[in-house]
Structure 1
Amino acid sequence: MNHTAVAAVGLYTVLNTVILFWLIVATSRLRRRYKVWVGTGGVAHLERVMRGHANAIENMPMTLLLLLIAALLGTPVLALHLLGIAFTIGRVLHAWHFIEEKGAPWQREAGFGLSGLATVVAMAVVLGHAFGFVI
């Protein structure tokens, strides 16, 4: 097992957990500001931040799992870093879009694009290993 490759995936797992924590803090602040303890209370900004958090939870685990599998299958550390960086920057931009009360569309588009591309490439890498292609 290449411990450096697994450590690289660990780095991006930690960074993406920081992004999740950022979204949790943003949600908590809005809940306190508007005194909404369950649901959204009809507060559009709270609904927006909660949707951003849900989107992160929907997307981060599978991509990070794909990166871990790729690392365990022998994917070069540089490739894992490139995928991890692209995915993490994409998730930062995406979260930023949702945390802002009126986030710029480019943040969501770039965030989705980068993180989506990293996910698709990670899928291809794992599939390549599964079918015996050298990646």
Structure 2
Amino acid sequence: MMHLTSLYAVPLGLMMIGLSAYVSALRAKTGTSILDGGNMALAERIRRHGNCVEYVPMALLLMAFAESTGAAPVWVHAAGLALVAGRTLHPMGLFHDRPVTFARIAGGSLTWLSMLISMITIVINQWAG
């Protein structure tokens, strides 16, 4: 059972819904059904949501595998906290005209760190087991 991983899946799922609603609201306002219709604000919102969708499922899966192989709770929490922090920061720093922002770099880095923590924990637990 993945008790700890599920604690992090809830806020990340809510975040994904929030980002999706943010896209949908601008789609409704602009009457844009698919793609971005040339609207840069909509393109930014789509990428913020898309980036979350691209990273969160794999990161949670890696956390669940780490937990299921017997990872110490501190490592599962470290991965989960890094992931939530990273996914919170990243969309706040993602802009088409500012490719390098603190929030974007920190958010992406924390997301990768979360995944690396889980992967290293999996390998260590499999090797030791």
Instruction: With the length of structure 2 as denominator, give the TM-score of the two structures.
Output: 0.89
**Equivalent position amino acid for 2:79 in 1:** L
- Letter of the 1:69 partner, please give it: F
- The residue identity in structure 2 corresponding to 1:83 is A
Alpha-carbon distance in structure 2 between the residues aligned to 1:9 and 1:39 = 33
Are 1:69 and 2:70 matched, yes or no? no
Moved over 6 A (4+): 100-104
Task: Output aligned runs, 1:1-135, within 5 Å.
Answer: 3=1, 6-98=2-94, 105-132=101-128
CA contact (8 A) 1:23 1:53 kept: yes
Cα distance in 2 for partners of 1:24, 1:108 equals 19
Amino acid at match of 1:94: H
Question: How many aligned residue pairs are there?
Answer: 128
**For residues 126 and 68 of structure 2, what CA distance do their matches in structure 1 show?**
12
Q: Which amino acid aligns with 2:65?
A: I
Q: Percent identity?
A: 27
Query: 1:123–1:78: structure 2 CA closer, same or farther, 3 Å change rule?
Result: same
Cα distance in 1 between the residues matched to 2:26 and 2:97: 14
In 1: Cα distance, 2:123 partner to 2:15 partner: 28
